[in-house]
């Protein structure tokens, strides 16, 4: 484990975009496959949403395997979506259970702000009432949930791939992941800020675009905006997972494939962990 410069938070995203550009069609196909799979799982009565949440660590390993394949100039194939189920064994499924419990606990804290409105929205797809939006209780719940989930994300950021690729236990993987994230908080702060800037820019662009399209042929384009948003998500999802992959190789430099070129310069100012 090592501590990397803050600027690497941006480089992870840049390298993720570069990896996506190598095989954009294949990445989009994999992203659609993941969205369809999670969509079908969510349709399972009673347990669907919880199961879809619990399987996030498994699917993250699948995408890490896809990233390693693409980085090594291999062929991206649909079967890679199942790779997470083939790797990691029991410790990975232990992580799945722990992840579900941790997220439920974090979301449960949000009920202090809105009496469970957001929790029902996330788990049951129950639309929040207008009153919760207008009085700010939903916004407060979102802020509280974000604060509570931060340590959860730190603990699970690297844990699935550490379990799957390094054959270590779930508790040890969570420990390493949490402190790797904590010690590299500057890089992760830049990374989060970069993601926020991208999201804000896209939202601002679409917000400014809608008034310009009103009337005439533009109305048809407005109708297509949801489809555009879905496609943007499908394109950005592999970039996001690839940035996870490069953050892993950067902070755990001895734990990845040996045939990759060094994607992140600046190793001279990195401190071994």
Q: Is residue 222 in some structural domain?
A: yes
Q: Is residue 273 in some structural domain?
A: no
Q: Is residue 271 in some structural domain?
A: no
Which band of pLDDT confidence, cut at 50, 70 and 90, is reported for residue 22?
very high
Please tell me the pTM assigned to this model: 0.81
Which band of pLDDT confidence, cut at 50, 70 and 90, is reported for residue 231?
low
- Burial class of 3 by CB neighbour count within 10 A (0 to 12, 13 to 18, 19+): middle
Q: Is residue 265 in some structural domain?
A: no
Q: Is residue 129 in some structural domain?
A: yes
**pLDDT (0 to 100) of residue 119:** 75
Across 87-101, 214-228, 246-260, which has the greatest mean pLDDT? 87-101
Least confident of 8-12, 22-26, 91-95, 255-259: 255-259
Q: Is residue 268 in some structural domain?
A: no
pLDDT in tens, 186-210: 999 999 999 989 888 877 776 766 6
Q: Is residue 95 in some structural domain?
A: yes
Q: Is residue 195 in some structural domain?
A: yes
Closest CA to 242 of 258, 260, 227: 260
Please tell me whether residue 153 adopts helix, strand or coil conformation: helix
Is 251 within 8 Å of 62 (Cβ atoms)? Answer: no
Partners of 272 in the beta sheet? 2
Structural domains in the chain (count): 1
* Domain residue limits at 212: 2-256
Report the pLDDT averaged over residues 38-55: 89
């Amino acid at each position: 484990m090592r501590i990397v410069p803050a600027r690497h938070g941006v480089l992870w995203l840049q390298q993720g975009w570069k990896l996506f550009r190598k095989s954009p069609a294949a990445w989009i196909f994999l992203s659609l496959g993941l969205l369809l799979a999670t969509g079908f799982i969510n349709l399972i009565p009673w347990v669907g949403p919880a199961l879809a949440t619990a399987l996030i660590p498994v699917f993250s390993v699948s995408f890490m395997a896809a990233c390693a394949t693409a980085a090594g100039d291999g062929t991206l194939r649909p079967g890679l979506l199942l790779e997470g189920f083939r790797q990691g064994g029991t410790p990975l499924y232990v992580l799945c259970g722990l992840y579900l419990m941790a997220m439920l606990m974090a979301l449960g804290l949000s009920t202090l702000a809105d009496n469970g409105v957001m929790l029902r929205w996330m788990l049951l797809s129950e639309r929040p009432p207008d009153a919760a939006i207008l009085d700010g209780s939903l916004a407060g719940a979102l802020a509280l949930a974000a604060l509570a989930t931060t340590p959860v994300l730190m603990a699970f950021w690297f844990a699935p791939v550490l379990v799957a690729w390094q054959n270590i236990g779930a508790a040890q993987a969570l420990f390493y992941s949490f402190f790797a994230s904590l010690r590299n908080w500057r890089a992760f702060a830049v990374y989060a800020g970069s993601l926020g800037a991208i999201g804000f820019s896209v939202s601002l662009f679409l917000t400014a675009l809608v008034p310009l399209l009103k009337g005439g042929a533009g109305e048809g384009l407005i109708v297509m905006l949801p489809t555009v948003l879905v496609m943007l998500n499908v394109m950005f999802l592999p970039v996001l997972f690839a940035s996870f992959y490069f953050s892993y190789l950067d902070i755990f430099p001895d734990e990845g494939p040996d045939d990759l070129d060094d994607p992140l310069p600046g190793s001279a100012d990195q401190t071994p962990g």
